[in-house]
Amino acid sequence: MRITRRTLLLGAGAGVASVLLASCTPEPAPTPTPTRTREPEPPPGVPAPAASIRSTWTSDPFALGAASFTPVGVLGATRTALARPIDDRLFFAGEATDEDAPGTVRGAISSGTRAAEELMGPGVPGERVAVVGAGLSGATAAALLAARGMQVTVFEARDRVGGRVFSRVDDAWPVPVQLGAWLFGEDDADVLDRLTSGEVGILDLAGELWRTPDGDIDPVDPKPFTAALTAAQAAPEDSSVADALTTAGIDPADPGTAALLAILAARTGADADELSSWFAPPLPTGDPRAAGDSLTPFVEHALDGVQVGLSSPVARVAYDDTGVSVRLGTGEALSFDRVVVTVPLGVLQERSIEFDPPLPFANRGAISALGMGAIETVWLRWDEPFWGSEESIWHAVGGHVMIPTWINLRPATGENVLVGIVGGASAAAFAELDEDAALDAALASLSIYV
């Protein structure tokens, strides 16, 4: 059943008044920037789009980045330290706590399942449990805990659920605009199963185009790149991905290698000089698949029947032997038996939530050791296509473009929509541009595809 925000809020029980009152807190600047109206100065051959919209996760106060990554010299097991429960009162979920698939939807869902299981160890049905954050990890934990008989209240800072899953449905767009996660690879079969059983249509993004300023080239062979990382993973000490490549005699600045690194940056949010070679995810293989429908009903469905307070940022979590006090941005405090904290790593690093007493060294050490990467996306729509390619995934090789990776939705949907994805320092720089400059940078990045 598709539930609406109204039913979510009406589903609240005693203490609802507090939750609803809290929803009057002022809303910070939203993540997406609106569809622009200015006529840009398009580079020759790239006409002005009919609509455009972009993300700014890097500066979003409730994300402060896109995805966690493992920096050079940091162990993947640091994520287990981040996830470590405290005094059977505080539990942690969120993609950053998942050692197997950090920075992904898969990791977020799996972390929510793990945290709920951990809580049910000491927890007793009927207890009051707070879940901080209504992203996929929080929704997964909340659903499982509610199913096990807990009285669950979810506090979400935004005026919507989903967190870094954010589908915008808008009259200006013939397809839902996915400003967060929407792409899935070969390891995501379980997630795709869940999505399809939640009636989310899946698109096959078939075919790759590799384009230099001088024309099309054969796909860049990833084998030397992958072999360099495999060799680095056998070394006695961790090194950055950039150093691993250099050690193997590969120049990270070579245009083909830089194109592969751009794919890695768009996946991890990190550049080659900061990313651990031991814990770097492999380059994607096979055609990616994508959510073709809005993902919002999928998240809402998970929260069906759970009490959710939207626009309710948590400012402080105090805990002792007897329970947990959760204080909202309004100053209102509510008591619970246990809490699951699912906010993004960037929010923990910014110390937007005060913990009293402070978190143990192990948890704090993990928060400061892990990295929060930058990924941004820009969606552009034209009435008529200016391109002839029938390939779905485009890679720029050379040409110094700001946004090197594009998804052409025309083959899968028939719509003239191109989606740019950029990660690492370029993403952070893109997020800082004003609207006009961002659109100009996006169109300039497309000029080699004309």
Ligand X SMILES: Cc1cc2nc3c(=O)[nH]c(=O)nc-3n(C[C@H](O)[C@H](O)[C@H](O)COP(=O)(O)OP(=O)(O)OC[C@H]3O[C@@H](n4cnc5c(N)ncnc54)[C@H](O)[C@@H]3O)c2cc1C
Query: What is the smallest separation between the CB atom of 332 and ligand X, expressed in angstroms?
Result: 13
Peptide bond before residue 357 is cis, with ω within 30 degrees of 0:
yes
Query: What is the smallest separation between the CB atom of 67 and ligand X, expressed in angstroms?
Result: 5
Residues 6+ apart with CB under 8 A from 283: 222, 225, 226, 260, 263, 264
Q: How far apart are the C-alpha atoms of 330 and 336, rounded to whole Å?
A: 18
Residue 228 · residue 245 · CB < 8 Å: yes
Query: What is the smallest separation between the CB atom of 54 and ligand X, expressed in angstroms?
Result: 10
Helix (H, G, I), strand (E, B) or coil at 395: strand
Residue 274 · residue 268 · CB < 8 Å: no
Burial bucket for residue 383 (CB in 10 Å: 0-12, 13-18, 19+):
exposed
Instruction: Put the strands of the sheet holding 354-356 in their side by side order.
Output: 333-336, 323-328, 314-320, 354-356
Query: What is the smallest separation between the CB atom of 387 and ligand X, expressed in angstroms?
Result: 23
Q: How far is CA 246 from each of CA 203, 273, 280, rounded to the nearest angstrom? A: 37, 11, 16
CB nearer to ligand X: pick between 138 and 256: 138
Query: What is the smallest separation between the CB atom of 315 and ligand X, expressed in angstroms?
Result: 7
Place of tokens 């792409």: 183
Residues 6+ apart with CB under 8 A from 214: none
Q: Which of 105, 108, 102 is nearest to 78 (CA)?
A: 102
Query: What is the smallest separation between the CB atom of 236 and ligand X, expressed in angstroms?
Result: 31
The residues that bridge with 86 in the sheet, in sequence order, are: 90
Residue 398 · residue 213 · CB < 8 Å: yes
Burial 205-234 (b: 16+ CB within 10 A, else e): beeebbbbeeeebeebebeebeebbeebee
Q: How far apart are the C-alpha atoms of 348 and 358, rounded to whole Å?
A: 12
CB nearer to ligand X: pick between 66 and 244: 66
Q: How far apart are the C-alpha atoms of 273 and 285, rounded to whole Å?
A: 23
Query: What is the smallest separation between the CB atom of 20 and ligand X, expressed in angstroms?
Result: 15
Query: What is the smallest separation between the CB atom of 44 and ligand X, expressed in angstroms?
Result: 30
CB nearer to ligand X: pick between 239 and 296: 296
CB nearer to ligand X: pick between 97 and 240: 97
Query: What is the smallest separation between the CB atom of 349 and ligand X, expressed in angstroms?
Result: 12
DSSP conformation letters of 151-187: EEEEE-SSSSSBTT--EE--TT-SS-EESS--EE-GG
The token pair at 102 is 């950090």
**Residue numbers at the binding site for ligand X (CB under 6 A):** 55, 57, 62-63, 66-67, 94-95, 103-108, 132-138, 155-158, 163-165, 180-183, 313-314, 342-344, 347, 352-353, 375, 377
Burial 16-29 (b: 16+ CB within 10 A, else e): eebbbebbebeeee
CB nearer to ligand X: pick between 353 and 397: 353
CB nearer to ligand X: pick between 132 and 409: 132
- How many residues belong to the chain? 450
CB nearer to ligand X: pick between 130 and 443: 130
CB nearer to ligand X: pick between 178 and 277: 178
Query: What is the smallest separation between the CB atom of 105 and ligand X, expressed in angstroms?
Result: 4
CB nearer to ligand X: pick between 5 and 254: 5
CB nearer to ligand X: pick between 58 and 239: 58
Query: What is the smallest separation between the CB atom of 259 and ligand X, expressed in angstroms?
Result: 19
Please state, as a whole number, how many other Cβ atoms lie within 10 Å of the Cβ of residue 320.
Answer: 11
Query: What is the smallest separation between the CB atom of 301 and ligand X, expressed in angstroms?
Result: 15
CB nearer to ligand X: pick between 167 and 239: 167
CB nearer to ligand X: pick between 158 and 410: 158
Place of tokens 């590969």: 250
